[in-house]
Amino acid sequence: MKSILNNRPALKTEINKVAEVAGYLWQKGWAERNGGNITINITEYADDGIQAMPAISKVKPIGATLPYLKGCYFYCKGTQKRMRDLARDPMANGSVIRILEDCASYVIIADHPVNPTSELPSHLSVHNYLISKGVNYKASLHTHPIELVAMTHNQKFMAKDIASNLLWSMIPETKAFCPRGLGIVPYKLPSSVELAEATIKELNDYDVVMWEKHGVFAVDTDIMAAFDQVDVLNKSALIYIAAKNMGFEPEGMSQAQMKEMSEAFHLPK
Ligand code: 2HA
Ligand code: ZN
């Protein structure tokens, strides 16, 4: 089969990671139906052959003007596509797009004309923001982790850094591997500009942002790392719930223990 991945082992490795993560999201119950989105900035793999590839779709508006994305390439999960299908066949359930000169429109170039995720404006706005800040993050992930979403149905966890501190205190790894913690965005309509803008604001201080009563949005160098950040946070939520189910409020690591760990691991917070 003709595919953009043929003879491009480095690009294929990145797309295989997307497929692997999509499988984990399904197995964890975080990706019901078409839930969740993934976009990956693959511009570094766009050789002359990719740059010469013709459009296989009409020119489509992004819905935003994103000056840092001119000529960039992204792999995007397809709209209405299932993560469990993407896990088996990423190029039939997602596509590669090229951002055009006007920074406000795109075309699909490979492998099939699969329309990108409904959250494309917010995902691309985030990539535009990351490049503008000089951050070397290439992956963005939106998913619906059950226990973390459940926590957002209680306002006591929605105040700044309350959930972060609680989750960090459940097990040392969570602070070590999600060192910037969990940002919070109060409920907003899915796919809205308001949701995208609020998310970008939180990404100043956090790599993982909680969308109240909806899901998380995470960014990192690659999709595996973005998934790992969400996974360690959700693991902490599970430990918290397990303790509550045993009939007690968990003690949590002390502030002194967490400070000691931050110093030993040279963590930013
Ligand atoms: O694309 O999860 O928030 C499916 C979603 C939208
Ligand atoms: Zn969602």
Residue 118: predicted pLDDT: 85
What's the average model confidence in pLDDT over 53-77? 97
Tell me the CA distances in angstroms from 107 to 55, 92, 128, one per residue in order.
Answer: 6, 17, 17
Task: Please tell me the number of the ligand nearest to residue 191's CA.
Answer: 1
- When computed from its CA atoms, the radius of gyration of the chain, rounded to whole angstroms, is 19
- Say which range, 40-49, 97-106, 257-266, has the weakest mean pLDDT: 257-266
- Considering only the C-alpha atoms of the chain, give the largest distance between any 2 of them, rounded to a whole number of Å: 62
| Confidence check: pLDDT of 38 > 90 | yes
Give the 3-state secondary structure of residue 248. Answer: coil
pTM for the full predicted model: 0.97
| Confidence check: pLDDT of 95 > 90 | yes
Instruction: Read off the pLDDT of residues 129-168 as tens digits, 9 standing for 90 and up.
Output: 999 999 999 999 999 999 999 999 999 999 999 999 999 9
CB 81 within 8 A of CB 120: no
| Confidence check: pLDDT of 253 > 90 | yes
Distance 48 CA to ligand 2 centre (A): 35
Task: Please tell me the number of the ligand nearest to residue 39's CA.
Answer: 1
Mean of per-residue pLDDT scores for the chain: 97
d(CA 171, CA 178): 12
Task: Indicate which residue of 14, 44, 119, 173 is catalytic.
Answer: 119
Decide if 119 is catalytic. yes
Distance 77 CA to ligand 1 centre (A): 11
User: Is residue 190 within 6 Å of ligand 1 at its C-beta?
Assistant: yes
- CB contact set of 266 (below 8 Å; sequence gap of 6+): none
Number of neighbours of residue 264 by Cβ within 10 angstroms: 10
Q: Nearest C-alpha to atom 4 of ligand 1 is from which residue?
A: 35
Residue 228: predicted pLDDT: 98
Residue 92's pLDDT band (cuts 50, 70, 90) = very high
